[in-house]
Amino acid sequence: MTRIPCIFAIVAFAVNGQHLCAQPADGKVLSHPPLRPLPELSKRPLTKGAGLYVDSAHGNDNAAGGEKTPWRTINHALKQLKAGDTLYLRGGVYREHVYCAVAGTKDTPITIRAFPGERVIIDGGLAEFFDEPAKAWTPFPQGAADEFRSVKAYRNIRDILGLFGDSHIALQTYWHNMDLRAKNELWMEDPDKKLMVLPVYCGPGLWYDRDTGHIHIRLAHTNLKTPGLANFRGETDPRKLPLVIAPFKATPLFVDMAKHVRFQDLVLRGGGHDCVVLQMGIDVEFDNVVIFAGTYGIRARSTGPFRMVNSAIHGMIPPWAWRDENSLFTYSPKSYDPFLPAAKPANERNIARLNTHALLVTEGTYEFEVFAYPFNHDWEISQCEFTDGHDGVYLSGRTIRFHHNLVDRMQDDGVYLSSPSNYFNDDIHIHHNLIRNIFTTFACNNRGGPGGDIFIYRNIIDQRQGVPFSRPSLKNPEGVMPRGHAFLAHGNDLLGIESLHFHQNTFITETWSGSYAGRTWTVTHPRSHRRIFNNLFVYLSRYPDPASPEEHDIMMDGNLHWCAAQDAKLPDGFLEKVRVAKGSKLIQSKYPAGWEGNSFVADPRFVAFEPVVSAKNDYRLKKGSAAVAKGVVLPKELPDPLRPAERARPDIGALPLGADFPGIGRYARIKAPFTGKEMP
């Protein structure tokens, strides 16, 4: 059977009766240029031995499942699989909520994959909005200009989430129709104090009317004046656009205690609250799996071993969205923390809350669990990409390896370190990653410790680009796009957080109050350790105030500090204030050099560096760099694959002199030099 791998036309065009992907027949995208295009088709060869087949267009679940007699649905096929089987999915869109509890063996795993050269999309959305949009919508003159309403009512689905089908850029999910219908796009206080802010339109989006069951949509253009930030200028009539619209509970893939199973060369989209759920999976692998997230991309609990390689999770934060409208407002702090002050005002409201909160969430345990591993364990995530979320990845569990990945464009936290359950984090390694366009790169919640060790090394943290944080207002008509923190702890729980070890990283970061060394030495605990060795700290605007932190078990040395601003003035006693601090003297019984005994200030002399976002920077070191051979010998307990032999002093930073830049992202596609923009 010959297939056209990727074609779609609004005018009832299909291949053998099957719509294959969201792409107009003439190649023109009608909504907005894609931020994250669909992956190239895989040429992975067929597996040796017999295979079983599914074809959503031509299959029959009463057939035998052979190449010429394929089944129609994945869910039916999974019930037939045994250890060692390979299930080939022929090209097409599979509108299923796939439930996978299959059981392979270590030597004979089960493989679920796309047929070579064909696009396979598992889509949890409602078919009519993608396949026949002209019949799915009707104008709604009682609403705002450009507002449409679904022809059908969809009752008992709680809420909806959506994407443009041709670009996979997200639609906002509005909490209230007043914001969907607003003409105003600025964040403005209500002079009458009845509303948190006046109604505010935040870009193309959906609103679900729970009283009638109808879905409302408005694709009006946006008109903000923020330099470098995209406005929506695409098609405003939803009847002319393929859309992926999913109910709140739509879950395209649920892996439930499946064991020894491999997923390869797949695209998953149309998730509601969760796109993929991993629950008690045993030896699960994702290879070349691209996920367009719902509120969450992957939610994992009690799963391991788990391997994810050459894959991606792309979130639902569109390029015209701001952190303001995606923040949670309608709750009272008093409801969960008795130490916080007065409750929030009663007039606060969510604006567009369901868009991706986090791309990957590793949950903890519950007290009633009785299994041997009530937490995630033995994970490896490598050569992957995580983009376009409010938060990025939450890494908690035991024996986690997260390396050679891209984490890009998050409005809040990039990598969340602490476990949601006390004492369930240990042996976590985060290394050789490129993390950029993030407000806070690493964050903790102060509940996971004080047991366990988290090692953060050989990463490049590039915060040259500010994130859309505060929506434009009358006072700030261009909005506020700050560059955030390298490390931040949310709160200060009595238990404390795990022992954190930052070594051999390159930080390009902003200067905030208390941001000396990227704040990596802040919020420590008497029962945990903090190690900050041989990092290269580049401050973008000014040298920070080296205020002394807590007097805990902190070892900090061998770091290079430099401010890239041309008019930067080095404060008097910049390093000396740290060296003579009380905590520095106390630690000398364990580490004689004290704090920053061998650290210094100098231009690191990168191969290429400019502080502006558009510059193509190369963070390798030039010959003659002050960072060469100036680091301190790392303690033996700190891992480093590039550790020099015979206790030689290492180069400072993530990339030693002469080292090749490690390939980052899917199939190691990102090489130096690179920019600070969304796409390399």
DSSP secondary structure, 203-271, as one string: SSEEEE-TTT--EEEE-PPP----TT-----S---GGGS-EEEEETT--SEEEES-EEEEEEEEEEE--
Alpha carbon distance 286, 313 (integer Å): 12
Mean pLDDT of 21-30: 62
Distances (CA, A) of 75 to 33, 63, 89, 253, 357: 34, 14, 12, 10, 29
Other C-beta atoms lying within 10 Å of the C-beta of residue 571: 13
pLDDT surpasses 70 at 338: no
Q: What is the pLDDT of residues 631-679, one digit of tens each?
A: 999 999 999 999 998 889 999 999 999 988 789 999 999 987 766 653 4
Asked whether residue 478 is domain-assigned, the answer is no
What the block records as the tokens of 18 is 């099957």
Conformational region of residue 474, where left means phi above 0, alpha means psi within -120 to 50, and beta covers everything else:
alpha
Q: Above pLDDT 70, what percent of the chain?
A: 89
Asked whether residue 225 is domain-assigned, the answer is yes
Asked whether residue 181 is domain-assigned, the answer is yes
Which has the higher per-residue pLDDT, 261 or 421?
261
Question: Of all helices (H) and strands (E), which one includes residue 428?
Answer: strand 426-431
Q: How far apart are the first and last CA of the chain?
A: 37
Determine contact, residues 460/506, Cβ cutoff 8 Å: yes
Mean pLDDT of 298-311: 96
Among 24-28, 37-41, 49-53, where is mean pLDDT lowest?
Answer: 24-28
Q: What is the pLDDT of residues 92-136, one digit of tens each?
A: 999 999 999 999 999 999 999 999 999 999 999 999 999 999 999
DSSP secondary structure, 468-531, as one string: --B---SSSTT-B-----SEEESS--SS---EEEEES-EEEE---TT-GGGGTT-S--TTSEEE
Q: Which residue segment(s) compose the domain that 210 sits in?
A: 131-235
Determine contact, residues 220/146, Cβ cutoff 8 Å: yes
| Local structure of 370: helix, strand or coil | coil
Determine contact, residues 190/198, Cβ cutoff 8 Å: yes
pLDDT surpasses 50 at 17: no
Asked whether residue 403 is domain-assigned, the answer is no
Determine contact, residues 672/654, Cβ cutoff 8 Å: no
Distances (CA, A) of 225 to 12, 411, 476, 477, 511: 38, 19, 10, 7, 26
pLDDT surpasses 70 at 363: yes
Within 13 Å of residue 268, how many CA atoms lie on the same side as its CB?
32
**Total count of domains within the chain:** 1
Question: Of all helices (H) and strands (E), which one includes residue 426?
Answer: strand 426-431
Winning range, highest mean pLDDT, from 21-30, 279-288, 512-521: 279-288
Asked whether residue 195 is domain-assigned, the answer is yes
Conformational region of residue 183, where left means phi above 0, alpha means psi within -120 to 50, and beta covers everything else:
alpha
Asked whether residue 455 is domain-assigned, the answer is no
pLDDT surpasses 70 at 5: no
Other C-beta atoms lying within 10 Å of the C-beta of residue 611: 17
Within 13 Å of residue 445, how many CA atoms lie on the same side as its CB?
16
What is the largest distance, in Å, between two alpha-carbon atoms of the chain?
Answer: 80
Alpha carbon distance 290, 638 (integer Å): 33
Asked whether residue 33 is domain-assigned, the answer is no
Predicted TM-score of the model (pTM): 0.94
In the block, residue with structure tokens 């070890």: 501
Nearest C-alpha neighbor of 379 from the set 399, 406, 394: 399
Q: What is the pLDDT of residues 465-501, one digit of tens each?
A: 999 999 999 999 999 999 888 998 876 566 778 899 9
Asked whether residue 303 is domain-assigned, the answer is no
Question: Of all helices (H) and strands (E), which one includes residue 323?
Answer: helix 323-326
Q: What is the pLDDT of residues 385-395, one digit of tens each?
A: 999 999 999 99
Which has the higher per-residue pLDDT, 24 or 258?
258
Under the banding of pLDDT at 50, 70 and 90, the label for residue 19 is: very low
